[in-house]
Amino acid sequence: MKLMKLLPLAAIIALPCAGFAQDTAVVAETAAAGVADDTPQMAEIGYIFTTFMFLITGFLVFWMAAGFTMLEAGLVRQKNTTMQLMKNVALFSFAALLYYALGYGLMYPGAPADGVYPDSWMIPGWLGAFSMASLEQVGGSPDTDLTYASVGSDFFFQLMFCATTASIVSGTLAERIKLWPFLVFIIILTGLIYPIQASWKWGGGYLNETLGFLDFAGSTVVHSVGGWAALAGALILGPRLGRYGRDGRVTPMPGANLPLATLGMFILWLGWFGFNGGSQLYMDTAGNVADISRIFANTNTAAAGGAIAALIMTQVMYGKPDLTMVLNGALAGLVSITAEPLTPSLGAATLIGAVGGVIVVFAVPFLDKLKIDDVVGAIPVHLFCGIWGTLAVVLTNGDATFMGQLISIAIVGAFVFVVSLVIWVILKAVMGIRVSEEDEMTGLDVAELGMEAYPEFSKG
Amino acid sequence: MKLMKLLPLAAIIALPCAGFAQDTAVVAETAAAGVADDTPQMAEIGYIFTTFMFLITGFLVFWMAAGFTMLEAGLVRQKNTTMQLMKNVALFSFAALLYYALGYGLMYPGAPADGVYPDSWMIPGWLGAFSMASLEQVGGSPDTDLTYASVGSDFFFQLMFCATTASIVSGTLAERIKLWPFLVFIIILTGLIYPIQASWKWGGGYLNETLGFLDFAGSTVVHSVGGWAALAGALILGPRLGRYGRDGRVTPMPGANLPLATLGMFILWLGWFGFNGGSQLYMDTAGNVADISRIFANTNTAAAGGAIAALIMTQVMYGKPDLTMVLNGALAGLVSITAEPLTPSLGAATLIGAVGGVIVVFAVPFLDKLKIDDVVGAIPVHLFCGIWGTLAVVLTNGDATFMGQLISIAIVGAFVFVVSLVIWVILKAVMGIRVSEEDEMTGLDVAELGMEAYPEFSKG
Amino acid sequence: MKLMKLLPLAAIIALPCAGFAQDTAVVAETAAAGVADDTPQMAEIGYIFTTFMFLITGFLVFWMAAGFTMLEAGLVRQKNTTMQLMKNVALFSFAALLYYALGYGLMYPGAPADGVYPDSWMIPGWLGAFSMASLEQVGGSPDTDLTYASVGSDFFFQLMFCATTASIVSGTLAERIKLWPFLVFIIILTGLIYPIQASWKWGGGYLNETLGFLDFAGSTVVHSVGGWAALAGALILGPRLGRYGRDGRVTPMPGANLPLATLGMFILWLGWFGFNGGSQLYMDTAGNVADISRIFANTNTAAAGGAIAALIMTQVMYGKPDLTMVLNGALAGLVSITAEPLTPSLGAATLIGAVGGVIVVFAVPFLDKLKIDDVVGAIPVHLFCGIWGTLAVVLTNGDATFMGQLISIAIVGAFVFVVSLVIWVILKAVMGIRVSEEDEMTGLDVAELGMEAYPEFSKG
Amino acid sequence: MKLIIAAIKPFKLEEVREALTAIGVRGMMVTEIKGFGSQSGHTEIYRGAEYAVNFVPKVKLEIVVATSMAEQVVETIAATAKTDKIGDGKIFVLDVQSAVRVRTGEINDDAI
Amino acid sequence: MKLIIAAIKPFKLEEVREALTAIGVRGMMVTEIKGFGSQSGHTEIYRGAEYAVNFVPKVKLEIVVATSMAEQVVETIAATAKTDKIGDGKIFVLDVQSAVRVRTGEINDDAI
Amino acid sequence: MKLIIAAIKPFKLEEVREALTAIGVRGMMVTEIKGFGSQSGHTEIYRGAEYAVNFVPKVKLEIVVATSMAEQVVETIAATAKTDKIGDGKIFVLDVQSAVRVRTGEINDDAI
Ligand SMILES: Nc1ncnc2c1ncn2[C@@H]1O[C@H](COP(=O)(O)OP(=O)(O)O)[C@@H](O)[C@H]1O
Ligand SMILES: Nc1ncnc2c1ncn2[C@@H]1O[C@H](COP(=O)(O)OP(=O)(O)O)[C@@H](O)[C@H]1O
Ligand SMILES: Nc1ncnc2c1ncn2[C@@H]1O[C@H](COP(=O)(O)OP(=O)(O)O)[C@@H](O)[C@H]1O
């Protein structure tokens, strides 16, 4: 995302959320606008364009929640499907609440004005102040700054990024983690971990101001963060029963419903146009809308590059193309282009995505070697390719420095990984995070929820 | 929806649908616009914004038809899945035709000008005149009123609401009703019942003018109407065989495919942004687009509130969270916020949605106590929460009066329930609405359609 | 699509894709715009509207790729599902690459200026020059022509049409064709065949200039092209084993997952709003946006007409409605209206769609009579109805001539069918296009990919 | 001991299970099968092509009981599964030589 | 009477059914099974991990026929299911003590 | 020859298969079944309605072996499938009269 925004927060602070102020407000404005009340003032047009753009790209990113749900429901075994659905619906819902209650405020304390951070930071550049999100009054406020977008649209859009981060974690830890400890972690992730580190870049914090870190739509700020949290969880949680034999033999546990997984991939691909496109943050000029167009085209070609790379790699390496790897490959391409979907040419974007696809094909078995059990391949896709994509920014964007990117990746990674690790350890000690062996063998659906995902289909 | 519209209808009446007038029209306009023919006239901009907004929110609401289909296909038993798919595809198609042939005209006879209803009403304030929908001529008409939106976009958007009402009915009556009697009811519902009662509010009729009834996007006008029609049907049709034992024992008939049901819920959630957002009806000013943003944010948080409420309630009450209840809970939150998605603060919206989630958890077993067999929980979600949401308007919108809301709910409910009941009784007498016992046991797919939904999957 | 575009190509040629030019560009433009940098220049507004419209309708058409995937995955047998998913993901990815590398350049050499074709044609009116697609520089270029849309958005939108053409082929040839030969054909189809013939109409070539051929969104240019390629493939490939008995008995091979197929149909229906609506190509005036509204409404009603026609036909002819035919019917309605979604009235559009639905019901068994094995009914839907829709243009658009349409259909058909036939024959000779009998009986999933789509579901 | 194999109509399963429990049957194995018999052979139409449906879904019960009980079990199934419509099913009785309960190692009559 | 149990390759089911009908078999029970045998054991790769496929899909037929007919049925199945490739399957014959047709109560040879 | 029918817990299948292969069993038929027995009968809640779960998923093994081997096979299954928890399953042994290997036509002990 290009620049963090003072104004929304200003707005937040300025305006109490006066619910019933509606009509007055409307009237006021109407009056103001007078006769031609249905023709926007010239100054409003850019504001309408950008706000509407956020709403549309925002609902596309929302749709990604369904994508993760289908992808994961398709890649887990039948007996754990209901639980995976439950986790995904619940995590999105909690993310929505927490980002409203804590996240949005923490994430956008505002950029420093000539070097000086506003008081909205508790620790300037590192930790924002606590405040609940609230929107402009109904009818909009006369003193709204028209150069950006409505707070509501910005909040809506940003909320979806927070939820995406949470979605990444559920896939890795599937088939063995208990529902509630998982949700407690999600609450902490979406209410604190994500927004705090995001403020360092997009909130105008240290990484942005001092390290000149560039991460357009969040290869690091969103995807690798989800990946780090998932990795920490996987280490504490341990692999699924019978997944790794003593002799280093890996027992595949094939996904139960590949059409569902493929649908999930397509949903994510679609949602990503909003994810990257909306991160342009402005659609108020020909230049901005042309940039958003570049981003759409680059995002698409990077996904294609990733899919084809994985297709060819698995054909060559295993003699048979692996659909699940091709799905991961497309997502890898998308994650890889996310840090910089604007500046690359179509050719460069395709290559950046293709490298992501290759990374995944090697990373998946590599994690198995390390006995790190990542059910859906979220760590290779979101963490490994998130890092790759963030470094790849330097290839096409002259403003990025390799060290600036690398250090930022390290700072974010260290923070998220360590904090997550601590939380997982505490959760394990306090409430236990893993289901009993018997329950795991029976499957979480029957054991934990008493509800099968496909009760009438006999298991082959 | 804020205000009903004289103008579209004016347009409808004014303009014959002159198909081939295209080029002339285009030329004309082009000429008019002259050199800068690609720069909109200032006065056109608001019109373009609002029209485009309707097209986008309209396709989102269209998408809800797929949501209902997946939700229902996932919650019925395997042996009735093909039929459920068939009913949903068919009901949308018939709704599209009937709303074009009858509904749109009946629904928008136009608001009274200083107390006097236009002749487009047969019974002023209560029954519009019959007229088929038709759109502006190709290329738009020179004398289009530019303060609102194109007739085509308005028709497209409103059509989807009519179809939504119909979709609600199919879920409740699943697994036992015959295809054709069901479709006959849908034809009457979408061609007459829905548009007539909708005209009372959105067409500028009695409820709107005299009772000051407020129902922003249709908790009552759309959702409870579907619910009332479904309730009437369920009473006449009776429960599924073996559903209720003499001893009051309820035999669960678990949905065959929960990932499908979850996908349906996510589709509905996505579509609802269009459902509520588009109901702002204008996007031509900063104030309007800011309001739409509020609506998106509130709609999202209400759904989250409903899902979490149902999650916690089922965990507490049953010891195990119930995914199907959580899905219903999210939808309950959405229905609850639909009557007033604009004025609540984020916090208020979350609570309004959460109450909806709680209602559903109690309403589902309550209906079973009454031996009213609602296969997918459509009555709790759309009727009960529709009523709750409509009453809840008074909490955040000073313009709403409790009595005004209550009386309107009662009038609409009485009308729809009674008329539906009569129609169901007639259909039962004339053609029979229920399949034979044997067919019901065999399943409608094989018995009625001779086509299994999952022919190759053996039934467990 | 109304008119082909000189400008994008001009842009392409004019501008090297200067990746890192971003910030300079931005700065420049910002400076230019001065204080009010967030208020678009009046001249930019139409450009922003149209560009944004392309991005939105473009992502809707992208979504159709998921629709075809689900439709086909639902209509093949269980044992070939993974392969069908693989083919669809791969074909879209290759289409994206090829359209970038070859297609876009070949397709838009530009219209002749007073009769003289630009040098961007190798063979004026028939074959464009080779050039890779490239977008405007970051930040947009000062000398962008503001009367149309950004190259990026146009490329993004057009790319999706190319991919759609490819998707059509995979369904017909399912369950027996090898992966790689299929993909080789797709590469040729999307890199050469599609763009070359598309340039004849939309690139300002012979059909457009000389024959006055009208094909608004591609009943012929997209759908029948896919259909012809599929037909050629089906003839060379032959029917599935055991499909046709010597005695002319047809053995049905029912689709394994009808909810998936129905989901696919709904996705396609949704995507089609973008497919037809975006083909208006301009949204910069009230007239254009009103036209797009007409197109949305007509597209929707045509689909409904097709579905209902198929529903009634199968009920009457077979005594039981056939869901798969109803799904095909809706798609048939969509294909039929695609050549002219603008000029018909709602009633005319419904009828045009309904005729499509009828065609499909007769065409499917007709192809079986000819022992042409089309697994998902793509030929009846896309070829037969593509032709019908193209001819039906004359019914509502005075500019179309029956002969002009017919000859154009014939030229395009002859070219695509013959070239495809040759390629299929060569592929068959060189690498073999069909799996072994044993593999076909085992199913492509296990035999070719070693991965089942539903590994845990026992086959009934 | 005897192994009783019965093919019945799926919707009769619950009723039969209850009847058998009532007479003291403590266990059984239930399998979804495709049945071929006189009931088979009606035709359906799929996408315009007519075809014969040769298999109808049935449920197969396998029950091992003490010889003394076998007759009663057969009669109970026969009585409960009966609808007098074609396709009601069949019951077969085979000899079982020995039985073991895995959990306890008990054998024969104690095992069932 | 005899119970004939045969495990065959799934795609042979229709052919076998037709052949059996031809020689007068009026009923059978068909079950999808996972077969383990000499055919089993090839390896596949899933997400980079190699594993052995120990079970191959088979179809199990269970047919009760009059003793006099048993041999012919076995021969017919053996002949029709044969592909000469490994995994063709097995046929087993067991004794059946009694049979009942639920609908009519007919027993033994009349029941089948 | 003997037909050994065993109902075991699904997650034990792989272990049992390996144990049997180890003692020289070369083939078997595996079927997913719904088991009814003493383990059955716990209750669940679905959308607020309580109901009893009467069937639990089990796996049925059918193995034909030479008479000489039968005992060992039974013991192996019993030993491997044992978890000492209710629902471990049952093993039944029946007489098999004859066997044929479709591919080769070999019969009886040579066929298995
Ligand atoms: N000879 C047989 N061997 C094994 N199973 C049989 C036999 N005959 C019938 N069955 C089973 O019994 C079921 C019902 O038999 P069918 O002939 O259709 O009706 P009915 O029992 O009324 O004569 C069949 O679907 C099949 O599963
Ligand atoms: N001893 C056995 N008991 C039961 N079923 C067996 C036995 N041996 C083989 N089968 C069944 O026969 C099928 C084919 O046997 P297999 O050994 O694979 O090939 P072949 O029949 O060519 O020797 C196996 O998949 C299994 O279902
Ligand atoms: N009499 C029986 N006949 C056939 N199968 C049986 C019989 N009794 C038990 N079974 C099978 O064995 C399984 C386990 O038996 P169960 O009584 O539940 O536990 P346990 O074996 O510990 O006594 C049952 O699910 C059922 O499949």
Task: Tell me the DSSP string of C402-415.
Answer: HHHHHHHHHHHHHH
Print the SS3 string covering chain B: CCCCCHHHHHHHHHCCCCHHHHHHHHHHHHHHHHHHCCCCCHHHHHHHHHHHHHHHHHHHHHHHHHHHHHHHHHHCCHHHHHHHHHHHHHHHHHHHHHHHHHHHHHHCCCCCECCECCCCEEECCCEECCCCCCCCCCCCCCCCCCCCCCHHHHHHHHHHHHHHHHHHHHHHCCCCECHHHHHHHHHHHHHHHHHHHHHHHCCCCHHHHCCCCCCCCCHHHHHHHHHHHHHHHHHHHCCCCCCECCCCCECCCCCCCHHHHHHHHHHHHHHHHHHHHHHHCCCCCHHHHHHHHHHHHHHHHHHHHHHHHHHHHHHHHHCCCCHHHHHHHHHHHHHHHHCCCCCCCHHHHHHHHHHHHHHHHHHHHHHHHCCCCCCCCHHHHHHHHHHHHHHHHHHHCCCCCHHHHHHHHHHHHHHHHHHHHHHHHHHHHHCCCECCHHHHHHCHHHHHHCCCCCCCECEC
Contact flag D90-E100 (C-beta cutoff 8 Å): yes
- On whether the CB atoms of residues C76 and C175 are closer than 8 A, the answer is yes
- On whether the CB atoms of residues D34 and D77 are closer than 8 A, the answer is no
Q: What is the pLDDT of residues F40-85, one digit of tens each?
A: 778 999 999 999 889 999 999 999 999 999 999 999 999 999 999 9
At residue A313, the pLDDT reads 98
At residue C1, the pLDDT reads 44
Q: What is the pLDDT of residues C250-282, one digit of tens each?
A: 999 999 999 999 999 999 999 999 999 999 999
Determine the distance separating the centroid of ligand 1 and the alpha carbon of D44, expressed in angstroms: 21
Residue A418, number of CB atoms within 10 A of its CB: 12
Q: Quick one: closest CA in A to F44, which residue? A: A450
At residue B38, the pLDDT reads 67
DSSP string, C119-172: TTEEETTTEEPP----PPPTT--TT--TTS--HHHHHHHHHHHHHHHHHHHHHH
Using alpha carbons only, give the angle D77, D83, D85 rounded to the nearest 5 degrees: 125
Question: Residue B85: is its pLDDT beyond 90?
Answer: yes
Cβ within 8 Å of residue C75, ≥6 positions away: C171, C174, C255, C261, C324, C375, C376
Instruction: Tokens 């074609």: give the residue.
Output: D86
> What's the N-to-C CA distance of chain E in angstroms?
9
3-class SS shares of chain A: helix, strand, coil, % to 5: 70, 5, 30
User: CA torsion C348→C351→C356→C359, rounded to 10°?
Assistant: -140
Determine the distance separating the centroid of ligand 1 and the alpha carbon of D14, expressed in angstroms: 20
Question: Residue B390: is its pLDDT beyond 70?
Answer: yes
DSSP 8-state secondary structure symbol assigned to residue F43: E
Task: Decide: residue A424, CB within 10 A, 0-12 exposed, 13-18 middle, 19+ buried.
Answer: buried
**Cβ-nearest to D48 among C254, C364, C460:** C364
Nearest atom in ligand 1 to E104's CA: 22
Contact flag B74-C350 (C-beta cutoff 8 Å): no
DSSP string, A161-220: HHHHHHHHHHHHTTTTB-HHHHHHHHHHIIIIIHHHHHHHHTTS-HHHHTS----SS-II
Determine the distance separating the centroid of ligand 2 and the alpha carbon of A422, expressed in angstroms: 53
Determine the distance separating the centroid of ligand 1 and the alpha carbon of D50, expressed in angstroms: 24
E residues 38-97 lying closer than 8 A (beta carbon) to D: 62, 64, 94-97
Q: Quick one: closest CA in E to D9, which residue? A: E102
The CA-atom distances, in angstroms, between B190 and each of A408, B32, B94, B420, B450 are 58, 41, 8, 12, 28
Nearest alpha carbon to residue A294 among D32, C51, C401 = C51
Sign of the dihedral defined by the CA atoms of residues B295, B301, B307, B310, in that order: negative
Percent share of chain C, pLDDT over 70: 91
Sign of the dihedral defined by the CA atoms of residues B266, B271, B272, B273, in that order: positive
Q: What is the pLDDT of residues B331-366, one digit of tens each?
A: 999 999 999 999 999 999 999 999 999 999 999 999
Contact flag B318-F34 (C-beta cutoff 8 Å): no
Contact flag C300-B52 (C-beta cutoff 8 Å): no
Tell whether E48 is within 8 A of chain A (Cβ).
Answer: yes
pTM of the model: 0.94
Residue nearest to atom 12 of ligand 2 (CA): E89
Contact flag E78-F105 (C-beta cutoff 8 Å): yes
Task: Decide: residue C316, CB within 10 A, 0-12 exposed, 13-18 middle, 19+ buried.
Answer: exposed
Q: What is the CA radius of gyration of chain F?
A: 17
- Alpha carbons B284 and B117: distance in angstroms, whole number: 28
Instruction: Tokens 């209840």: give the residue.
Output: B325
- Alpha carbons A386 and A410: distance in angstroms, whole number: 12
What's the pLDDT band for B98 if we cut at 50, 70, 90?
very high
- On whether the CB atoms of residues A344 and A352 are closer than 8 A, the answer is yes
Cβ within 8 Å of residue C442, ≥6 positions away: C79, E11
Tell whether E51 is within 8 A of chain C (Cβ).
Answer: no
Residue C130, number of CB atoms within 10 A of its CB: 10
Contact flag E47-A251 (C-beta cutoff 8 Å): no
**Cβ-nearest to D78 among E28, E64, E105:** E105
- On whether the CB atoms of residues C45 and C282 are closer than 8 A, the answer is no
Q: What is the pLDDT of residues C195-253, one digit of tens each?
A: 999 999 999 999 999 999 999 999 999 999 999 999 999 999 999 999 999 888 999 99
Residue nearest to atom 7 of ligand 3 (CA): D27
Torsion-angle region of residue B173: left (phi > 0), alpha (psi -120 to 50) or beta? Answer: alpha
E42 lines ligand 1 (CB under 6 A): no
At residue A37, the pLDDT reads 53
Cβ within 8 Å of residue A42, ≥6 positions away: B42, C39, C42
- Alpha carbons B63 and A174: distance in angstroms, whole number: 30
Q: Judging by DSSP bridges, how do beta strands F28-36 and D28-36 pair with one another?
A: antiparallel
- Alpha carbons B384 and B228: distance in angstroms, whole number: 10
Question: Residue D105: is its pLDDT beyond 50?
Answer: yes
At residue C110, the pLDDT reads 85
Nearest alpha carbon to residue C85 among A355, A62, A255 = A255
Torsion-angle region of residue A129: left (phi > 0), alpha (psi -120 to 50) or beta? Answer: beta
Tell whether D31 is within 8 A of chain F (Cβ).
Answer: yes
Q: Which two tokens stand for residue B90?
A: 């068919």
Give every residue of chain A whose pLDDT is below 70, as ranges: 1-38, 459-460
Cβ within 8 Å of residue C414, ≥6 positions away: none
Q: Which two tokens stand for residue A116?
A: 């000086």
Q: What is the pLDDT of residues A221-276, one digit of tens each?
A: 999 999 999 999 999 999 999 999 988 899 999 999 999 999 999 999 999 999 99
ipTM, two decimals, is 0.94
Q: Which two tokens stand for residue C268?
A: 């396609």
Q: What is the pLDDT along chain C (460 residues), one digit of tens a residue?
A: 444 443 343 333 333 333 333 333 333 333 333 334 567 888 899 999 999 999 999 999 999 999 999 999 999 999 999 999 999 999 999 999 999 999 999 999 988 888 889 988 999 999 999 999 999 999 988 888 899 999 999 999 999 999 999 999 999 999 999 999 999 999 999 999 999 999 999 999 999 999 999 999 999 999 999 999 999 999 999 999 999 998 889 999 999 999 999 999 999 999 999 999 999 999 999 999 999 999 999 999 999 999 999 999 999 999 999 999 999 999 999 999 999 999 999 999 999 999 999 999 999 999 999 999 999 999 999 999 999 999 999 999 999 999 999 999 999 999 999 999 999 999 999 999 999 999 999 999 999 999 999 998 876 5
Using alpha carbons only, give the angle C101, C47, C334 rounded to the nearest 5 degrees: 65
